[in-house]
């Protein structure tokens, strides 16, 4: 509803919703005296209050309720929706139909329940549409995301990221088709309602799908270039932190291709400004990343220098740790773990998901330790003290390798949701790695206890020198 990306409007997750800090279509409509109405859950109501004149707050759907419950909610919601639509003849009415998402979380998008929920949502839209005079009203139907087959969203999967957008009625050019971005929805609503573009919008009115004259089309493009220039100026100044970063892209372009190019130039300049700020912050993070990465290397190097550990033991532990970390990463998909929020279909599964990650890392580290101990015992005939040392060193090297990875990702990409959204894949992987390294790091001394049974149960091969 704002046309802004999440890092600019600041509401990057479903948690902790607050009134949006950027302009949105509800606010613009109210500023022009148009009536606004919203039927949605309490979180969505929070985002747009106080610019919603008539609000119907829908109950939050429990993700584990039986499908019949959802359908009952959909039925009562349809009444609310119809009432809101009748009440506002001109203006902006937004209706959230949540049953499809609930069914996705409950049973996954490959389920019969999901198909049924989608069909019922279709029916609900059809009934609402039949009550509209599409000669005067415009109907815009879209979704905020899809679901993977087993249920879940939040990650970058194509079936999660791609949604349909269907427009019909007044102002819409029948038969127009094409691709667009979700940020284009708000500017398109602005165009349909005759409102200014939302100030932080990064989208464009879908003029090719609107029944407007060529001249008006050009006007909209020009207005978009103007809006974007003003936004880019503030955005780049804010990114650079010094308050002066005039946008260089001009709005003097006359024809359509030039206007499009100007918009693209503006996007590129903003991307460059983002990259410059990230580069600057990377330099600031470097000492902290080194402070994470270097101590474990110093500890292992120091132990070696002090003669507390032999060179070949360190080599064996290091090799086993590399194999163990590779095993951990290789088994992530087998354990149903992915670097994507989509893999955690329900909030209440998050703790179990993280526990599974820690268990997997412990199992992979145990395999690495067992391999190293088996080798040391058979080939070197190592005694219990050497075995204990090799076990701890292997676990420490395992945790150290993950720490190196964590430090690198922290330095290179940053993982905290701040002024920009971190790369989803890497940020999610970062937190899984941190948990894995904590589990293995803390369990390190326990691995040393395995030395005793190994020394009793595994016999050295005949060729190994006695120790
Ligand atoms: Zn959802």
Q: Please write down the HEC assignment for all residues of 178-220.
A: CCCCHHHHHHHHHHHHCCCCCCCCCCCCCHHHECCCHHHHHHH
CA–CA gap between residue 268 and residue 465 (Å, rounded) = 67
Distance 149 CA to ligand 1 centre (A): 13
Distance 349 CA to ligand 1 centre (A): 14
Q: Return the structure tokens found at 63.
A: 């993700």
The pTM is what? 0.86
Q: For 92-243, where are the E strands, in sequence order?
A: 92-95, 138-142, 165-169
Distance 60 CA to ligand 1 centre (A): 11
CA–CA gap between residue 319 and residue 398 (Å, rounded) = 10
Distance 343 CA to ligand 1 centre (A): 12
Residue 102 in contact with residue 117, Cβ under 8 Å?
yes
State the pairing for strand pair 92-95/36-40.
parallel
Contacts of 464 (CB under 8 A, 6+ apart): 378, 379, 380, 381
For residue 327, how far is the Cα from the chain centroid?
A: 26
Distance 372 CA to ligand 1 centre (A): 45
Distance 145 CA to ligand 1 centre (A): 8
pLDDT by residue for the chain (467 residues), tens digit each?
A: 999 998 899 888 888 899 999 999 999 999 998 889 888 888 999 999 889 988 888 777 656 667 777 667 767 777 777 777 766 566 898 988 888 998 999 899 999 999 999 998 999 889 888 888 888 889 999 999 999 999 999 888 999 999 999 999 999 999 999 999 999 999 999 999 999 999 999 999 999 999 988 888 889 999 999 999 999 988 988 888 765 566 566 656 678 888 888 899 889 989 998 899 999 999 999 999 999 999 988 998 899 899 888 999 999 999 999 999 999 999 999 999 999 989 998 888 999 999 999 999 999 999 999 999 999 999 998 888 999 999 999 999 999 999 999 999 999 988 877 778 888 888 899 999 999 999 999 988 898 888 888 888 888 876 555 54
Distance 109 CA to ligand 1 centre (A): 12
- For residue 89, give the DSSP letter: S
Distance 22 CA to ligand 1 centre (A): 23
Distance 152 CA to ligand 1 centre (A): 7
Cis peptide bond upstream of 433, omega within 30: no
CA–CA gap between residue 34 and residue 38 (Å, rounded) = 13
Neighbours of 107 (CB within 10 A): 19
Distance 414 CA to ligand 1 centre (A): 26
Q: Return the structure tokens found at 448.
A: 């040393």
Distance 344 CA to ligand 1 centre (A): 11
Distance 28 CA to ligand 1 centre (A): 28
Distance 105 CA to ligand 1 centre (A): 6
Query: CA separation (Å) from 364 to 170, 250, 259, 405?
Result: 61, 57, 56, 17
Neighbours of 104 (CB within 10 A): 28
CA–CA gap between residue 407 and residue 416 (Å, rounded) = 13
Distance 101 CA to ligand 1 centre (A): 5
CA–CA gap between residue 147 and residue 162 (Å, rounded) = 10
Distance 153 CA to ligand 1 centre (A): 7
Distance 111 CA to ligand 1 centre (A): 16
Distance 63 CA to ligand 1 centre (A): 9
Distance 146 CA to ligand 1 centre (A): 9
- For residue 244, give the DSSP letter: -
List for the chain the helix, strand, coil content (%; round to 5): 60, 5, 35
CA–CA gap between residue 243 and residue 310 (Å, rounded) = 58
Distance 11 CA to ligand 1 centre (A): 15
The dihedral formed by the CA atoms of 255, 261, 265 and 271, expressed in degrees to the nearest 10: 130
Q: Which helix (H) or strand (E) holds 39?
A: strand 36-40
Distance 102 CA to ligand 1 centre (A): 7
Distance 14 CA to ligand 1 centre (A): 9
Q: Return the structure tokens found at 108.
A: 């996954």
Neighbours of 103 (CB within 10 A): 28
Distance 99 CA to ligand 1 centre (A): 10
């Amino acid at each position: 509803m704002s046309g802004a990306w999440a890092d600019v409007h600041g509401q990057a997750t479903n948690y902790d919703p607050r009134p949006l800090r950027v302009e949105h279509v509800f606010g613009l409509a109210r500023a022009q005296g148009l009536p606004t109405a919203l039927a949605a859950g309490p979180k969505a109501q929070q985002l747009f209050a106080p610019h919603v004149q008539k609000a119907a707050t829908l109950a939050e759907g429990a993700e584990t309720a039986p499908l019949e419950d959802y359908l009952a909610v959909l039925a009562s919601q349809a009444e609310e929706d119809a009432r809101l639509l009748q009440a506002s003849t001109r203006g902006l009415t937004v209706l959230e139909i949540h049953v499809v998402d609930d069914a996705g979380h409950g049973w996954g998008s490959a389920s019969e329940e999901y198909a049924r929920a989608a069909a019922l949502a279709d029916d609900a839209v059809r009934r609402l549409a039949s009550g509209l005079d599409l000669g005067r009203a415009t109907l815009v139907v879209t979704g905020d995301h899809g679901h993977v087959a087993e249920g879940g969203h939040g990650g970058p999967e194509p079936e999660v990221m791609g949604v349909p957008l269907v427009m019909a009625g007044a102002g819409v050019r029948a038969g127009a088709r094409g691709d667009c971005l979700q940020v284009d929805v708000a500017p398109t609503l602005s165009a349909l309602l005759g409102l200014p573009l939302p100030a932080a919008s990064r989208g464009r009115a879908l003029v090719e799908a609107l029944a407007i004259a060529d001249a008006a089309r050009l006007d909209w493009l020009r207005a978009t270039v103007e809006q974007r220039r003003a936004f880019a100026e503030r955005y780049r100044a804010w990114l650079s932190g010094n308050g002066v970063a005039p946008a260089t892209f001009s709005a003097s372009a006359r024809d359509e291709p030039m206007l499009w190019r100007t918009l693209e130039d503006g996007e590129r300049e903003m991307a460059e400004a983002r990259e410059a700020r990230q580069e600057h912050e990377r330099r600031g993070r470097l000492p902290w990343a080194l402070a994470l990465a270097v101590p474990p290397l110093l500890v292992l190097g120091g132990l070696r220098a002090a003669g507390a550990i032999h060179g070949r033991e360190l080599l064996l532990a290091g090799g086993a740790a590399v194999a163990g970390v590779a095993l951990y990463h290789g088994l992530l998909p087998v354990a149903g773990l992915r670097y994507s929020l989509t893999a955690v279909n329900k909030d209440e599964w998050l703790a179990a998901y993280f526990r599974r990650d820690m268990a997997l890392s412990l199992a992979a580290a145990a395999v690495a330790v067992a391999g190293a101990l088996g080798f040391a015992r058979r080939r070197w005939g190592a005694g219990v003290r050497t075995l204990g040392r090799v076990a701890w060193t292997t676990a420490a090297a395992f945790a150290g390798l993950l720490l190196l990875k964590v430090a690198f990702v922290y330095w290179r990409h940053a993982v905290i949701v701040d002024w920009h959204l971190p790369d989803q894949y890497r940020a999610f992987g970062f937190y899984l790695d941190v948990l894995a390294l904590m589990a293995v790091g803390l369990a390190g001394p326990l691995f040393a206890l395995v030395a005793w049974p190994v020394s009793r149960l595994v016999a050295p091969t005949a060729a190994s020198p006695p120790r």
